[in-house]
Amino acid sequence: MILSIAWRNLWRNPLRSLVIIGSVMTGLLAGIFILAFFRGLINEQINTGISQQLSHIQVHNPVFRELDEEQYTINNVSGVLSALEKDDQVAGISQRLVITAMASSAYTASGVSIYGVEPLSEAAVTGLNKRIKEGHYLENSASGQILMGRKLAKKLHLGQGSKVILTFQDKNNELIAAAFRITGIFEAANSNLEENNVFVKKNELDSLTLLGGRIHELAILLKDNKAVETTAFKLRNLNTGNKVETWKQLSPEIRMMIDSFSQYMVIIIGIILIALVFGIVNTMLMAVLERYRELGVLMAIGLNKRKIFSMIMTETLLMTILGCLAGLPLSWLTVYLTGRNGINLSRFSEGLAMYGYGTRVYPQLELSYYWQVGGMAIVAALLASVYPSLKALQLKPATAIRKI
């Protein structure tokens, strides 16, 4: 009986009911889309970081990243490479020398990290060859080649074909100055990568630093991100004395964003639901005041306060459920359509590059979050209906019946 009366009451004033249903639907659409967009941003930052810089796993000497000195090279490289060759999840391996240096032009100088790489291996791991915007990629036949980021080239007032002097220390801490010619200028989603890193051929940098074929870094790209922990565990079990780190350990800020996504969800949806609660309280309170006489008659003919309370709560619950039934599928459809083609943010590329984001974001959200958001909306609506329901219980039937 309560359910039947509550349902009929909804459509006695359809405009008022549709306002609440529309508010719930709009709130869910806005909240879920914001979450999906934020998830897309995180995924874009992860994919960009893995594909352009970090790879899935990196291997270093335990103190290399802390001290950043040339003598701290990887132990037993051949053993590590042999283990990786047997792993069918490995898609590519790049052996790198990493040297801190000063890049100088006729105009100014800037601190950089020199990456000595094998051109084909580096291209397979980071796709660096596909991001050359001026000139060409490193060629095995020529010497003295260097790839420089667009921002660094602009900072040094250099262009494709210009000469740059790199100054750094060799294995014996002797100061070395070497001239390179810019054969290519690359772009990256991360502006720090463009401004701080340069790439030369590994064998040339090795001969200058006198490292004798040793390397500082192994960057490992996998076929599936789900295999990261398994592969890292295998490498650690080799007991080579090296430090094996996954992309989550190499980029703790991204890991923090992933781990705190549920907290962001509660905050974002909470703000939207608070606004929704005020709307429901206002609308339901008006509904109670407009039906003051009717509620008095119902109480006079035997409808007790518990049933009056249940009736108003049921009305609110029905409107919220209808809003969820409309809002959740609409939210899923919106996320699906925008996630299929992505949202182009190229006009904000400069700002996004500062934080390592790409220019196209693909919103996506797991289905479990839809149910969580819908549940939070229903709980919020029930809490919002408590005050109007209690207000209805305060009326006196004899007074309410005579109210005009």
Rounded average pLDDT over 82-101: 92
* pLDDT over threshold 70, residue 314: yes
Amino acid at 308: I
Predicted confidence band at 396 (pLDDT cuts at 50, 70, 90)? low
Classify the C-alpha dihedral 301-302-303-305 as positive or negative. Answer: positive
Q: Give the pLDDT score at 9.
A: 73
CB 263 within 8 A of CB 104: no
Altogether, the residues listed in the chain come to a count of 404
In angstroms, the CA 316 to CA 284 distance is 8
Per residue in 54-73, pLDDT (tens digit) is 899 999 999 998 888 888 99
**CB-CB contact of 361 with 40 (8 Å):** yes
φ/ψ of residue 147, rounded to 5:
-105, 135
pLDDT band at 148 (very low <50, low <70, confident <90, very high): very high
How far out from the chain centre does Cα 370 lie? 18
- Is 158 within 8 Å of 209 (Cβ atoms)? no
Grade residue 335 by pLDDT with cuts at 50, 70 and 90: very high
Query: What is the average per-residue pLDDT within 149-153?
Result: 92
pLDDT given at position 147? 96
Which pLDDT belongs to residue 302? 66
| 150 or 253, which is more confident | 150
Could you tell me which residue, 44 or 104, shows the higher pLDDT?
Answer: 104
- More reliable by pLDDT, 50 or 118: 118
Residue 23's pLDDT is what?
Answer: 85
Block residue for tokens 């659409």: 29
Of the candidate ranges 20-24, 88-92, 295-299, the one whose mean pLDDT is the lowest: 295-299
pLDDT of residue 183: 95
Q: What is the dihedral of CA 78, 76, 196, 38, to 10 degrees?
A: 80
Terminal Cα distance for the chain, rounded? 27
What's the whole-number average pLDDT of the chain?
85
Q: What is the pLDDT of residue 12?
A: 77
Mean pLDDT of 320-341: 91
Cα separations (Å) of 142 from 71, 76, 164, 205?
28, 30, 16, 14
Distances (CA, A) of 58 to 14, 54, 192, 252: 62, 7, 19, 14
More confident residue, 109 or 12: 109
Closest Cα to residue 335, out of 374, 371, 370, 376?
370
How far apart are the C-alpha atoms of 60 and 249, rounded to whole Å? 13
Range with the poorest average pLDDT among 200-204, 241-245, 284-288: 284-288
Binning pLDDT at 50, 70 and 90, where does residue 295 land?
A: low
pLDDT of residue 359: 73
Beta bridge partners of 98: 115
Q: Quote the pLDDT of residue 347.
A: 76
pLDDT at residue 179, rounded to an integer: 94
Q: Helix/strand/coil (H, E, C) string of 19-86?
A: HHHHHHHHHHHHHHHHHHHHHHHHHHHHHHHHHHHHCCEEEECCCHHHHCCCCCCCCCHHHHHHHHHC
Helix (H, G, I), strand (E, B), or coil: what is residue 189?
A: coil
User: What are the helix (H) ranges across 342-396?
Assistant: 349-353, 367-393
Query: So what's the pLDDT on residue 104?
Result: 93
Dihedral sign computed on CA atoms, order 277, 281, 282, 284:
positive
Asked whether the predicted pLDDT for residue 18 surpasses 80, the reply is yes
Bridge partners of 366, per DSSP, are none
Question: Is the per-residue pLDDT at 220 higher than 90?
Answer: yes
pLDDT-derived band of residue 320, with 50, 70 and 90 as boundaries? confident
Q: Average the pLDDT over each of 98-102, 273-277, 361-365 and give the range with the smallest value.
A: 273-277
Contacts of 92 (CB under 8 A, 6+ apart): 55, 121, 124, 125, 220, 221
Average pLDDT, integer, range 299-309: 73
Whether the pLDDT of residue 212 is over 60: the answer is yes
User: 185 has which bridge partners?
Assistant: 134, 148
**Distance between CA atoms of 71 and 66, rounded to whole angstroms?**
13
